[in-house]
Structure 1
Protein backbone atom coordinates (compact mmCIF):
# COMPACT_ATOMS: atom_id res chain seq x y z
CA UNK A 1 0.00 0.00 0.00
CA UNK A 2 1.41 3.36 -0.97
CA UNK A 3 2.28 5.61 1.98
CA UNK A 4 0.31 8.81 2.21
CA UNK A 5 2.03 12.17 1.82
CA UNK A 6 3.73 13.33 5.03
CA UNK A 7 1.74 15.76 7.10
CA UNK A 8 3.13 19.04 8.43
CA UNK A 9 5.54 18.37 11.26
CA UNK A 10 4.61 19.81 14.63
CA UNK A 11 8.06 19.23 16.09
CA UNK A 12 11.33 20.73 14.98
CA UNK A 13 13.69 18.60 12.93
CA UNK A 14 15.88 16.97 15.57
CA UNK A 15 19.12 18.35 14.18
CA UNK A 16 18.05 21.97 14.02
CA UNK A 17 16.31 21.77 17.38
CA UNK A 18 19.47 20.57 19.09
CA UNK A 19 21.67 23.04 17.20
CA UNK A 20 19.37 25.96 17.98
CA UNK A 21 19.18 25.09 21.68
CA UNK A 22 22.97 24.75 21.88
CA UNK A 23 23.51 28.02 20.03
CA UNK A 24 21.21 29.95 22.37
CA UNK A 25 22.81 28.38 25.45
CA UNK A 26 26.31 29.27 24.27
CA UNK A 27 25.39 32.77 23.13
CA UNK A 28 23.18 33.57 26.12
CA UNK A 29 20.94 36.06 24.32
CA UNK A 30 19.93 36.10 20.65
CA UNK A 31 17.57 37.87 18.28
CA UNK A 32 15.21 36.33 15.75
CA UNK A 33 17.11 38.00 12.92
CA UNK A 34 20.46 36.61 14.06
CA UNK A 35 19.04 33.11 14.31
CA UNK A 36 17.38 33.30 10.90
CA UNK A 37 20.69 34.31 9.34
CA UNK A 38 22.70 31.74 11.26
CA UNK A 39 20.41 28.79 10.41
CA UNK A 40 19.47 30.07 6.94
CA UNK A 41 15.72 29.82 7.49
CA UNK A 42 12.94 32.37 7.51
CA UNK A 43 12.14 34.61 10.46
CA UNK A 44 8.70 33.02 10.74
CA UNK A 45 10.33 29.59 11.01
CA UNK A 46 12.64 30.80 13.77
CA UNK A 47 9.72 32.33 15.66
CA UNK A 48 7.86 29.02 15.55
CA UNK A 49 11.01 27.17 16.62
CA UNK A 50 11.54 29.51 19.57
CA UNK A 51 7.92 29.28 20.63
CA UNK A 52 8.15 25.49 20.69
CA UNK A 53 11.46 25.44 22.59
CA UNK A 54 10.04 27.92 25.08
CA UNK A 55 7.04 25.64 25.71
CA UNK A 56 9.45 22.76 26.31
CA UNK A 57 11.46 24.82 28.79
CA UNK A 58 14.65 24.66 26.70
CA UNK A 59 14.97 28.45 26.45
CA UNK A 60 13.07 31.59 27.40
CA UNK A 61 11.26 33.50 24.67
CA UNK A 62 11.64 37.27 24.76
CA UNK A 63 10.38 40.11 22.63
CA UNK A 64 12.36 39.80 19.41
CA UNK A 65 14.45 36.80 20.43
CA UNK A 66 15.33 34.44 23.27
CA UNK A 67 17.72 33.89 26.15
CA UNK A 68 19.21 30.75 27.62
CA UNK A 69 17.25 29.07 30.39
CA UNK A 70 20.41 27.49 31.80
CA UNK A 71 20.52 28.12 35.55
CA UNK A 72 24.28 28.47 35.43
CA UNK A 73 24.09 31.69 33.44
CA UNK A 74 23.90 34.41 36.08
CA UNK A 75 23.98 37.47 33.86
CA UNK A 76 21.82 40.54 34.29
CA UNK A 77 18.53 39.85 32.58
CA UNK A 78 15.52 42.05 32.01
CA UNK A 79 12.75 41.71 34.57
CA UNK A 80 10.25 40.26 32.10
CA UNK A 81 12.70 37.42 31.46
CA UNK A 82 13.54 36.76 35.10
CA UNK A 83 9.86 36.69 36.01
CA UNK A 84 9.65 33.46 34.00
CA UNK A 85 12.66 31.77 35.55
CA UNK A 86 12.48 29.42 38.58
CA UNK A 87 8.90 30.59 39.18
CA UNK A 88 7.84 27.65 41.35
CA UNK A 89 10.99 27.93 43.44
CA UNK A 90 10.42 31.63 43.99
CA UNK A 91 6.82 31.08 45.05
CA UNK A 92 7.92 28.51 47.64
CA UNK A 93 10.58 30.85 48.97
CA UNK A 94 8.08 33.72 49.10
CA UNK A 95 5.60 31.73 51.17
CA UNK A 96 8.34 30.82 53.67
CA UNK A 97 9.61 34.39 53.87
CA UNK A 98 6.12 35.77 54.42
CA UNK A 99 5.83 33.58 57.52
CA UNK A 100 8.66 35.61 59.09
CA UNK A 101 6.64 38.83 58.81
CA UNK A 102 4.41 39.78 61.71
CA UNK A 103 1.34 41.97 61.32
CA UNK A 104 2.07 45.58 62.18
CA UNK A 105 5.81 45.25 61.57
CA UNK A 106 8.14 47.41 59.50
CA UNK A 107 9.90 45.64 56.64
CA UNK A 108 12.26 46.49 53.80
CA UNK A 109 12.22 44.65 50.49
CA UNK A 110 14.87 45.01 47.82
CA UNK A 111 14.46 44.71 44.08
CA UNK A 112 13.99 41.39 42.34
CA UNK A 113 11.45 38.86 41.21
CA UNK A 114 11.72 36.80 44.40
CA UNK A 115 10.88 39.77 46.64
CA UNK A 116 8.07 40.63 44.22
CA UNK A 117 6.70 37.16 44.94
CA UNK A 118 7.06 37.89 48.67
CA UNK A 119 5.01 41.07 48.28
CA UNK A 120 2.21 39.04 46.68
CA UNK A 121 2.48 36.42 49.45
CA UNK A 122 1.81 39.11 52.06
CA UNK A 123 -1.82 39.48 50.95
CA UNK A 124 -3.19 38.11 54.24
CA UNK A 125 -1.03 40.38 56.41
CA UNK A 126 -2.26 43.65 57.88
CA UNK A 127 -0.90 47.03 59.00
CA UNK A 128 2.57 46.62 57.55
CA UNK A 129 4.94 49.49 56.94
CA UNK A 130 6.96 48.71 53.84
CA UNK A 131 9.98 50.48 52.37
CA UNK A 132 11.38 49.27 49.06
CA UNK A 133 13.32 50.19 45.95
CA UNK A 134 11.25 47.75 43.89
CA UNK A 135 9.07 49.85 41.59
CA UNK A 136 6.74 46.93 40.83
CA UNK A 137 5.70 46.28 44.43
CA UNK A 138 3.19 49.17 44.79
CA UNK A 139 1.15 47.74 41.93
CA UNK A 140 1.40 44.09 43.00
CA UNK A 141 0.94 44.08 46.77
CA UNK A 142 -2.56 43.86 48.20
CA UNK A 143 -3.69 47.30 49.46
CA UNK A 144 -5.14 45.65 52.58
CA UNK A 145 -1.69 44.36 53.61
CA UNK A 146 -0.01 47.67 54.39
CA UNK A 147 -0.60 50.82 56.33
CA UNK A 148 2.24 52.79 54.74
CA UNK A 149 4.31 52.05 51.66
CA UNK A 150 7.45 54.00 50.78
CA UNK A 151 9.68 53.79 47.71
CA UNK A 152 13.31 54.88 47.97
CA UNK A 153 14.39 57.52 45.49
CA UNK A 154 17.47 57.41 43.31
CA UNK A 155 18.51 56.44 39.81
CA UNK A 156 16.15 54.00 38.07
CA UNK A 157 17.61 50.81 36.61
CA UNK A 158 15.28 49.90 33.77
CA UNK A 159 16.53 46.30 33.59
CA UNK A 160 15.39 45.64 37.17
CA UNK A 161 12.60 48.25 37.40
CA UNK A 162 14.05 49.47 40.67
CA UNK A 163 15.85 52.46 42.10
CA UNK A 164 19.48 52.53 43.17
CA UNK A 165 20.50 55.10 45.74
CA UNK A 166 20.69 55.84 49.45
CA UNK A 167 18.31 54.14 51.87
CA UNK A 168 17.06 57.45 53.26
CA UNK A 169 14.08 59.79 53.25
CA UNK A 170 13.81 63.51 53.93
CA UNK A 171 10.82 65.24 55.49
CA UNK A 172 11.34 68.42 53.45
CA UNK A 173 13.31 69.19 50.27
CA UNK A 174 16.89 69.86 51.23
CA UNK A 175 16.21 68.90 54.83
CA UNK A 176 18.13 66.37 56.92
CA UNK A 177 17.77 62.66 56.33
CA UNK A 178 15.38 60.79 58.58
CA UNK A 179 16.96 57.92 60.49
CA UNK A 180 14.91 54.85 59.56
CA UNK A 181 14.93 51.34 60.98
CA UNK A 182 12.97 48.19 60.23
CA UNK A 183 12.07 44.99 62.02
CA UNK A 184 13.00 42.77 59.10
CA UNK A 185 14.92 43.25 55.85
CA UNK A 186 14.00 40.72 53.16
CA UNK A 187 16.84 40.67 50.65
CA UNK A 188 17.00 38.58 47.48
CA UNK A 189 20.55 38.02 46.26
CA UNK A 190 22.04 36.85 42.99
CA UNK A 191 24.53 34.37 44.43
CA UNK A 192 25.75 32.87 47.69
CA UNK A 193 28.91 31.00 48.60
CA UNK A 194 31.13 30.55 51.64
CA UNK A 195 32.37 34.14 51.38
CA UNK A 196 28.88 35.65 51.58
CA UNK A 197 26.07 37.05 49.46
CA UNK A 198 26.67 38.87 46.18
CA UNK A 199 24.98 40.51 43.24
CA UNK A 200 25.97 41.75 39.79
CA UNK A 201 25.68 45.52 40.28
CA UNK A 202 27.65 47.77 42.66
CA UNK A 203 24.77 50.17 43.25
CA UNK A 204 22.39 47.33 44.08
CA UNK A 205 24.95 45.80 46.44
CA UNK A 206 25.38 49.08 48.32
CA UNK A 207 21.64 49.53 48.69
CA UNK A 208 21.11 45.96 49.88
CA UNK A 209 23.93 46.30 52.39
CA UNK A 210 22.43 49.48 53.80
CA UNK A 211 19.01 47.85 54.15
CA UNK A 212 20.64 45.08 56.16
CA UNK A 213 22.42 47.59 58.39
CA UNK A 214 19.11 49.28 59.21
CA UNK A 215 17.30 46.03 60.09
CA UNK A 216 16.89 44.30 63.44
CA UNK A 217 16.74 40.98 61.56
CA UNK A 218 17.59 39.99 57.99
CA UNK A 219 16.27 37.21 55.78
CA UNK A 220 18.33 36.45 52.68
CA UNK A 221 16.47 34.79 49.80
CA UNK A 222 18.07 32.69 47.06
CA UNK A 223 16.90 29.72 45.02
CA UNK A 224 19.14 26.71 44.46
CA UNK A 225 20.52 28.04 41.15
CA UNK A 226 22.40 30.67 43.21
CA UNK A 227 24.27 28.18 45.44
CA UNK A 228 28.10 28.13 45.52
CA UNK A 229 28.42 31.05 43.12
CA UNK A 230 30.00 34.47 43.38
CA UNK A 231 28.98 37.58 41.44
CA UNK A 232 30.78 40.87 40.90
CA UNK A 233 29.68 42.87 43.95
CA UNK A 234 29.76 41.54 47.51
CA UNK A 235 26.71 42.50 49.59
CA UNK A 236 27.77 41.20 52.98
CA UNK A 237 29.19 38.16 54.75
CA UNK A 238 27.09 35.15 55.68
CA UNK A 239 26.99 36.14 59.36
CA UNK A 240 25.00 39.33 58.72
CA UNK A 241 21.84 37.32 57.98
CA UNK A 242 19.56 35.77 60.57
CA UNK A 243 17.72 33.57 58.07
CA UNK A 244 18.58 32.01 54.73
CA UNK A 245 15.37 31.11 52.88
CA UNK A 246 15.60 28.82 49.90
CA UNK A 247 13.68 26.13 48.00
CA UNK A 248 15.96 23.17 48.72
CA UNK A 249 18.70 22.34 51.24
CA UNK A 250 22.05 23.96 50.34
CA UNK A 251 25.03 21.90 49.33
CA UNK A 252 26.93 20.36 52.27
CA UNK A 253 29.78 22.87 52.04
CA UNK A 254 27.46 25.88 51.93
CA UNK A 255 25.23 24.44 54.65
CA UNK A 256 28.26 24.01 56.93
CA UNK A 257 29.34 27.61 56.27
CA UNK A 258 25.86 28.92 57.07
CA UNK A 259 25.79 26.90 60.29
CA UNK A 260 29.21 28.27 61.24
CA UNK A 261 27.85 31.80 60.69
CA UNK A 262 24.84 31.00 62.91
CA UNK A 263 22.34 31.50 60.08
CA UNK A 264 19.03 29.61 60.31
CA UNK A 265 18.29 27.84 57.03
CA UNK A 266 14.60 27.70 56.12
CA UNK A 267 13.41 25.32 53.39
CA UNK A 268 9.96 23.95 52.48
Structure 2
Protein backbone atom coordinates (compact mmCIF):
# COMPACT_ATOMS: atom_id res chain seq x y z
CA UNK A 1 0.00 0.00 0.00
CA UNK A 2 2.79 2.39 0.97
CA UNK A 3 4.60 1.81 -2.34
CA UNK A 4 1.39 2.42 -4.30
CA UNK A 5 0.74 5.65 -2.42
CA UNK A 6 4.28 6.84 -3.16
CA UNK A 7 3.90 5.95 -6.81
CA UNK A 8 0.58 7.81 -7.03
CA UNK A 9 2.12 10.83 -5.36
CA UNK A 10 5.02 10.82 -7.81
CA UNK A 11 2.66 10.56 -10.78
CA UNK A 12 0.48 13.33 -9.41
CA UNK A 13 3.44 15.63 -8.84
CA UNK A 14 4.74 14.95 -12.34
CA UNK A 15 1.37 16.00 -13.74
CA UNK A 16 1.38 19.12 -11.59
CA UNK A 17 4.88 20.07 -12.73
CA UNK A 18 3.92 19.52 -16.36
CA UNK A 19 0.91 21.83 -15.96
CA UNK A 20 3.03 24.53 -14.31
CA UNK A 21 5.60 24.46 -17.11
CA UNK A 22 3.05 24.25 -19.91
CA UNK A 23 0.67 26.96 -18.68
CA UNK A 24 3.05 29.20 -16.77
CA UNK A 25 1.16 28.75 -13.52
CA UNK A 26 -1.59 26.73 -11.82
CA UNK A 27 -4.15 27.27 -9.07
CA UNK A 28 -4.74 24.89 -6.17
CA UNK A 29 -8.49 24.67 -6.80
CA UNK A 30 -7.92 23.75 -10.46
CA UNK A 31 -5.61 20.92 -9.44
CA UNK A 32 -8.01 19.56 -6.83
CA UNK A 33 -10.74 19.29 -9.47
CA UNK A 34 -8.54 17.80 -12.14
CA UNK A 35 -6.72 15.28 -9.94
CA UNK A 36 -9.71 14.60 -7.67
CA UNK A 37 -7.80 14.92 -4.43
CA UNK A 38 -8.13 17.21 -1.45
CA UNK A 39 -6.86 20.77 -1.14
CA UNK A 40 -4.47 19.59 1.59
CA UNK A 41 -3.03 16.88 -0.68
CA UNK A 42 -2.31 19.38 -3.44
CA UNK A 43 -0.68 21.78 -1.01
CA UNK A 44 1.56 18.97 0.27
CA UNK A 45 2.48 18.16 -3.33
CA UNK A 46 3.36 21.79 -4.01
CA UNK A 47 5.40 21.95 -0.81
CA UNK A 48 7.34 18.85 -1.87
CA UNK A 49 7.97 20.20 -5.37
CA UNK A 50 9.02 23.58 -3.97
CA UNK A 51 11.52 21.90 -1.62
CA UNK A 52 12.97 20.12 -4.66
CA UNK A 53 13.35 23.48 -6.42
CA UNK A 54 11.01 22.34 -9.20
CA UNK A 55 8.51 25.20 -8.83
CA UNK A 56 7.78 28.28 -6.76
CA UNK A 57 4.70 28.48 -4.56
CA UNK A 58 2.64 31.66 -4.78
CA UNK A 59 -0.61 32.60 -3.08
CA UNK A 60 -3.25 30.19 -4.36
CA UNK A 61 -1.00 28.16 -6.64
CA UNK A 62 2.45 27.80 -8.16
CA UNK A 63 4.65 29.14 -10.99
CA UNK A 64 7.86 27.87 -12.64
CA UNK A 65 10.83 28.61 -10.40
CA UNK A 66 13.42 28.46 -13.21
CA UNK A 67 11.82 31.46 -14.90
CA UNK A 68 10.86 33.42 -11.81
CA UNK A 69 12.36 36.76 -12.90
CA UNK A 70 11.76 36.53 -16.64
CA UNK A 71 8.63 34.43 -17.12
CA UNK A 72 5.42 36.23 -18.06
CA UNK A 73 2.26 34.08 -17.82
CA UNK A 74 -0.44 34.71 -20.40
CA UNK A 75 -3.46 36.91 -19.75
CA UNK A 76 -5.85 33.98 -19.28
CA UNK A 77 -3.65 32.36 -16.60
CA UNK A 78 -3.22 35.61 -14.69
CA UNK A 79 -6.90 36.56 -14.99
CA UNK A 80 -7.87 33.54 -12.88
CA UNK A 81 -5.66 34.58 -9.94
CA UNK A 82 -6.94 36.66 -7.00
CA UNK A 83 -10.32 37.40 -8.63
CA UNK A 84 -12.03 38.80 -5.53
CA UNK A 85 -9.01 40.93 -4.66
CA UNK A 86 -8.88 42.40 -8.16
CA UNK A 87 -12.55 43.34 -8.07
CA UNK A 88 -12.14 45.03 -4.68
CA UNK A 89 -9.07 46.90 -5.91
CA UNK A 90 -10.81 47.96 -9.13
CA UNK A 91 -13.80 49.30 -7.22
CA UNK A 92 -11.62 51.36 -4.88
CA UNK A 93 -9.42 52.68 -7.68
CA UNK A 94 -12.40 53.69 -9.82
CA UNK A 95 -13.44 56.11 -7.07
CA UNK A 96 -10.31 58.12 -7.91
CA UNK A 97 -11.41 58.78 -11.49
CA UNK A 98 -12.76 62.31 -11.85
CA UNK A 99 -15.32 62.92 -14.64
CA UNK A 100 -13.76 64.71 -17.57
CA UNK A 101 -10.19 63.73 -16.73
CA UNK A 102 -7.48 62.20 -18.86
CA UNK A 103 -6.44 58.75 -17.66
CA UNK A 104 -3.87 56.18 -18.67
CA UNK A 105 -4.35 52.47 -18.01
CA UNK A 106 -1.44 50.11 -18.44
CA UNK A 107 -1.83 46.48 -19.38
CA UNK A 108 -2.74 43.79 -16.86
CA UNK A 109 -5.65 41.87 -15.43
CA UNK A 110 -6.24 44.33 -12.57
CA UNK A 111 -6.47 47.32 -14.91
CA UNK A 112 -8.79 45.18 -17.04
CA UNK A 113 -11.07 44.79 -14.01
CA UNK A 114 -10.75 48.52 -13.35
CA UNK A 115 -11.83 49.38 -16.90
CA UNK A 116 -15.23 47.79 -16.30
CA UNK A 117 -15.73 49.99 -13.24
CA UNK A 118 -14.85 53.12 -15.21
CA UNK A 119 -17.62 52.70 -17.77
CA UNK A 120 -20.04 54.84 -15.77
CA UNK A 121 -17.59 57.71 -15.16
CA UNK A 122 -18.57 60.36 -17.72
CA UNK A 123 -16.41 62.16 -20.25
CA UNK A 124 -13.14 60.34 -19.64
CA UNK A 125 -10.27 60.30 -22.08
CA UNK A 126 -8.54 56.94 -21.70
CA UNK A 127 -5.19 56.09 -23.25
CA UNK A 128 -4.12 52.48 -22.90
CA UNK A 129 -1.64 50.02 -24.32
CA UNK A 130 -3.87 47.11 -23.31
CA UNK A 131 -5.92 45.42 -26.02
CA UNK A 132 -8.16 43.93 -23.33
CA UNK A 133 -8.81 47.29 -21.66
CA UNK A 134 -9.68 48.90 -24.99
CA UNK A 135 -12.05 46.00 -25.73
CA UNK A 136 -14.00 46.73 -22.53
CA UNK A 137 -14.81 50.26 -23.66
CA UNK A 138 -15.43 49.29 -27.28
CA UNK A 139 -17.79 46.47 -26.25
CA UNK A 140 -19.77 48.86 -24.07
CA UNK A 141 -20.07 51.27 -26.96
CA UNK A 142 -21.36 48.53 -29.28
CA UNK A 143 -23.86 47.37 -26.66
CA UNK A 144 -25.18 50.90 -26.18
CA UNK A 145 -26.09 51.53 -29.81
CA UNK A 146 -25.27 50.85 -33.41
CA UNK A 147 -21.51 50.91 -32.85
CA UNK A 148 -21.06 54.22 -34.65
CA UNK A 149 -22.38 56.89 -32.30
CA UNK A 150 -21.20 56.85 -28.69
CA UNK A 151 -23.68 57.57 -25.91
CA UNK A 152 -23.36 61.00 -24.24
CA UNK A 153 -20.55 60.95 -21.71
CA UNK A 154 -18.94 57.78 -23.08
CA UNK A 155 -15.18 57.60 -22.76
CA UNK A 156 -12.90 58.54 -25.62
CA UNK A 157 -10.42 55.67 -25.86
CA UNK A 158 -7.01 55.75 -27.55
CA UNK A 159 -5.16 52.45 -28.02
CA UNK A 160 -1.45 52.76 -28.63
CA UNK A 161 0.13 50.63 -31.31
CA UNK A 162 3.03 48.31 -30.67
CA UNK A 163 4.12 44.70 -30.34
CA UNK A 164 1.78 42.44 -28.39
CA UNK A 165 3.06 40.73 -25.21
CA UNK A 166 1.72 37.52 -23.57
CA UNK A 167 -0.29 39.86 -21.31
CA UNK A 168 -2.00 41.41 -24.37
CA UNK A 169 -0.18 44.71 -23.83
CA UNK A 170 1.24 46.71 -26.73
CA UNK A 171 4.87 47.73 -26.21
CA UNK A 172 7.93 48.88 -28.10
CA UNK A 173 8.90 52.00 -30.08
CA UNK A 174 5.44 52.61 -31.56
CA UNK A 175 3.75 52.52 -28.15
CA UNK A 176 6.51 54.65 -26.62
CA UNK A 177 6.17 57.28 -29.35
CA UNK A 178 2.38 57.43 -28.88
CA UNK A 179 2.77 58.13 -25.16
CA UNK A 180 5.70 60.55 -25.41
CA UNK A 181 3.69 63.67 -26.28
CA UNK A 182 0.75 63.05 -23.93
CA UNK A 183 -0.02 64.14 -20.37
CA UNK A 184 -2.37 62.32 -17.97
CA UNK A 185 -4.10 63.34 -14.78
CA UNK A 186 -3.81 59.81 -13.39
CA UNK A 187 -1.98 56.69 -14.48
CA UNK A 188 -3.51 53.44 -13.21
CA UNK A 189 -0.63 51.02 -13.37
CA UNK A 190 -0.69 47.25 -13.05
CA UNK A 191 2.62 45.64 -12.10
CA UNK A 192 4.28 42.23 -12.13
CA UNK A 193 6.14 43.06 -8.94
CA UNK A 194 6.67 45.82 -6.39
CA UNK A 195 9.31 45.91 -3.68
CA UNK A 196 11.41 48.30 -1.61
CA UNK A 197 14.64 47.34 -3.35
CA UNK A 198 13.51 47.04 -6.98
CA UNK A 199 10.54 49.40 -7.03
CA UNK A 200 8.14 48.51 -9.85
CA UNK A 201 9.26 45.74 -12.17
CA UNK A 202 8.23 43.49 -15.04
CA UNK A 203 9.73 40.43 -16.75
CA UNK A 204 9.39 42.09 -20.17
CA UNK A 205 12.13 44.58 -21.14
CA UNK A 206 10.06 46.34 -23.79
CA UNK A 207 7.09 46.63 -21.42
CA UNK A 208 9.39 48.17 -18.82
CA UNK A 209 10.28 50.98 -21.24
CA UNK A 210 6.65 51.59 -22.19
CA UNK A 211 5.63 51.70 -18.51
CA UNK A 212 8.50 54.10 -17.88
CA UNK A 213 6.99 56.42 -20.50
CA UNK A 214 3.58 56.16 -18.84
CA UNK A 215 5.01 57.06 -15.43
CA UNK A 216 6.84 60.06 -16.86
CA UNK A 217 3.67 61.38 -18.52
CA UNK A 218 1.38 61.23 -15.46
CA UNK A 219 0.68 63.86 -12.81
CA UNK A 220 -0.29 61.10 -10.42
CA UNK A 221 0.69 57.42 -10.41
CA UNK A 222 -1.68 54.89 -8.83
CA UNK A 223 -0.44 51.30 -8.66
CA UNK A 224 -3.23 48.72 -8.62
CA UNK A 225 -1.93 45.32 -7.53
CA UNK A 226 -3.02 42.51 -5.22
CA UNK A 227 -0.94 41.62 -2.17
CA UNK A 228 0.90 38.75 -3.92
CA UNK A 229 2.79 41.32 -6.02
CA UNK A 230 4.48 42.82 -2.96
CA UNK A 231 8.01 41.48 -2.67
CA UNK A 232 8.01 40.10 -6.23
CA UNK A 233 10.85 41.27 -8.48
CA UNK A 234 10.80 41.01 -12.27
CA UNK A 235 13.76 41.21 -14.64
CA UNK A 236 13.52 44.95 -15.31
CA UNK A 237 12.69 47.82 -12.95
CA UNK A 238 10.99 50.84 -14.51
CA UNK A 239 10.08 53.09 -11.55
CA UNK A 240 11.04 53.62 -7.93
CA UNK A 241 8.59 53.62 -5.03
CA UNK A 242 9.18 57.37 -4.72
CA UNK A 243 7.46 57.84 -8.09
CA UNK A 244 4.26 56.21 -6.83
CA UNK A 245 1.57 58.39 -5.25
CA UNK A 246 -0.91 55.72 -4.17
CA UNK A 247 -0.82 51.94 -3.87
CA UNK A 248 -4.24 50.26 -4.04
CA UNK A 249 -4.15 46.67 -2.86
CA UNK A 250 -6.26 44.12 -0.94
CA UNK A 251 -6.61 42.96 2.64
CA UNK A 252 -4.20 40.07 2.19
CA UNK A 253 -1.25 42.46 2.56
CA UNK A 254 0.63 41.72 5.79
CA UNK A 255 0.95 44.22 8.63
CA UNK A 256 4.71 44.38 8.09
CA UNK A 257 4.27 45.18 4.40
CA UNK A 258 1.68 47.85 5.21
CA UNK A 259 4.12 49.51 7.59
CA UNK A 260 6.91 49.45 4.99
CA UNK A 261 4.66 50.93 2.31
CA UNK A 262 3.18 53.59 4.59
CA UNK A 263 6.69 54.79 5.43
CA UNK A 264 7.56 55.25 1.76
CA UNK A 265 4.38 56.17 -0.12
CA UNK A 266 2.00 59.12 0.33
CA UNK A 267 -1.07 56.91 -0.06
CA UNK A 268 -1.99 53.31 0.77
CA UNK A 269 -5.53 52.11 0.06
CA UNK A 270 -6.47 48.64 1.28
CA UNK A 271 -9.59 47.75 -0.68
CA UNK A 272 -12.48 46.18 1.19
CA UNK A 273 -11.47 47.68 4.55
CA UNK A 274 -13.02 50.68 6.35
CA UNK A 275 -12.03 53.95 4.75
CA UNK A 276 -10.94 52.32 1.46
CA UNK A 277 -13.05 54.59 -0.71
CA UNK A 278 -10.27 55.50 -3.09
CA UNK A 279 -9.81 58.97 -1.59
CA UNK A 280 -6.78 58.41 0.63
CA UNK A 281 -3.63 60.02 -0.63
CA UNK A 282 -5.53 62.42 -2.90
CA UNK A 283 -4.00 65.56 -1.48
CA UNK A 284 -0.73 64.46 0.06
CA UNK A 285 1.25 66.18 -2.67
CA UNK A 286 1.41 69.59 -1.05
CA UNK A 287 -2.30 70.44 -1.14
CA UNK A 288 -2.92 70.10 -4.86
CA UNK A 289 -6.62 69.80 -5.56
CA UNK A 290 -7.34 66.34 -7.01
CA UNK A 291 -10.46 67.69 -8.68
CA UNK A 292 -8.69 70.47 -10.55
CA UNK A 293 -9.30 70.80 -14.25
CA UNK A 294 -7.73 67.92 -16.16
CA UNK A 295 -4.54 68.34 -18.12
CA UNK A 296 -5.30 68.18 -21.81
CA UNK A 297 -3.46 65.75 -24.03
CA UNK A 298 -1.19 67.51 -26.46
- TM-score, with length taken from structure 2: 0.66
Could you say which residue in structure 2 is the equivalent of 1:29?
Answer: 21
Among 165, 184, 187, the alignment partner of 1:185 is 187
The alignment status of 1:95 with 2:91, answered yes or no, reads: yes
SS of equivalent residue, structure 1 residue 231: coil
Residues 25 and 70, structure 1, Cα contact 8 Å, conserved in 2: no
* Coordinate RMSD, CA, aligned: 3.2
Q: Output the CA distance in 2 between the equivalents of 1:215 and 1:20.
A: 51
SS of equivalent residue, structure 2 residue 231: coil
SS of equivalent residue, structure 2 residue 157: strand
Q: How far is the alpha carbon of 1:192 from its aligned partner?
A: 1.3
Could you say which residue in structure 1 is the equivalent of 2:202?
Answer: 199
Q: How far is the alpha carbon of 1:56 from its aligned partner?
A: 7.7
Q: Output the CA distance in 2 between the equivalents of 1:139 and 1:225.
A: 26
Q: Output the CA distance in 2 between the equivalents of 1:87 and 1:26.
A: 23
Among 114, 128, 131, the alignment partner of 1:118 is 114
Structure 2 unaligned blocks of 5 or more: 24-29, 44-54, 142-150, 273-298
Q: How far is the alpha carbon of 1:19 from its aligned partner?
A: 4.3
Q: How far is the alpha carbon of 1:55 from its aligned partner?
A: 11
Q: Which of the pair has the greater relative contact order for Cα pairs under 8 Å at 6+ separation?
A: 2
C-alpha distance 250-17 of structure 1, shift in aligned 2 (>3 A): same
Question: How many residues end up aligned between the 2 structures?
Answer: 225
C-alpha distance 251-164 of structure 1, shift in aligned 2 (>3 A): same
C-alpha distance 140-113 of structure 1, shift in aligned 2 (>3 A): same
Q: How far is the alpha carbon of 1:226 from its aligned partner?
A: 1.2
Q: Output the CA distance in 2 between the equivalents of 1:150 and 1:54.
A: 46
Among 154, 161, 165, the alignment partner of 2:162 is 154
Based on CA coordinates, which of the two structures has the bigger radius of gyration? 1
C-alpha distance 26-213 of structure 1, shift in aligned 2 (>3 A): same
SS of equivalent residue, structure 2 residue 210: helix
Could you say which residue in structure 1 is the equivalent of 2:228?
Answer: 225
More strand by share: 1
Structure 1 unaligned blocks of 5 or more: 1-12, 32-47, 60-66, 170-176
Q: How far is the alpha carbon of 1:254 from its aligned partner?
A: 3.3
Residues 176 and 209, structure 2, Cα contact 8 Å, conserved in 1: no
Q: Output the CA distance in 1 between the equivalents of 2:248 and 2:122.
A: 22
Among 155, 160, 176, the alignment partner of 1:167 is 176
Q: Output the CA distance in 1 between the equivalents of 2:31 and 2:102.
A: 48
Could you say which residue in structure 1 is the equivalent of 2:34?
Answer: 52
- TM-score, with length taken from structure 1: 0.72
C-alpha distance 249-179 of structure 1, shift in aligned 2 (>3 A): same
Q: How far is the alpha carbon of 1:247 from its aligned partner?
A: 0.9
Q: Kindly report which structure 2 residues correspond to 1:78-89, keeping only aligned pairs within 5 A, or say none.
A: 78-89=74-85
C-alpha distance 95-16 of structure 1, shift in aligned 2 (>3 A): farther
More helix by share: 2
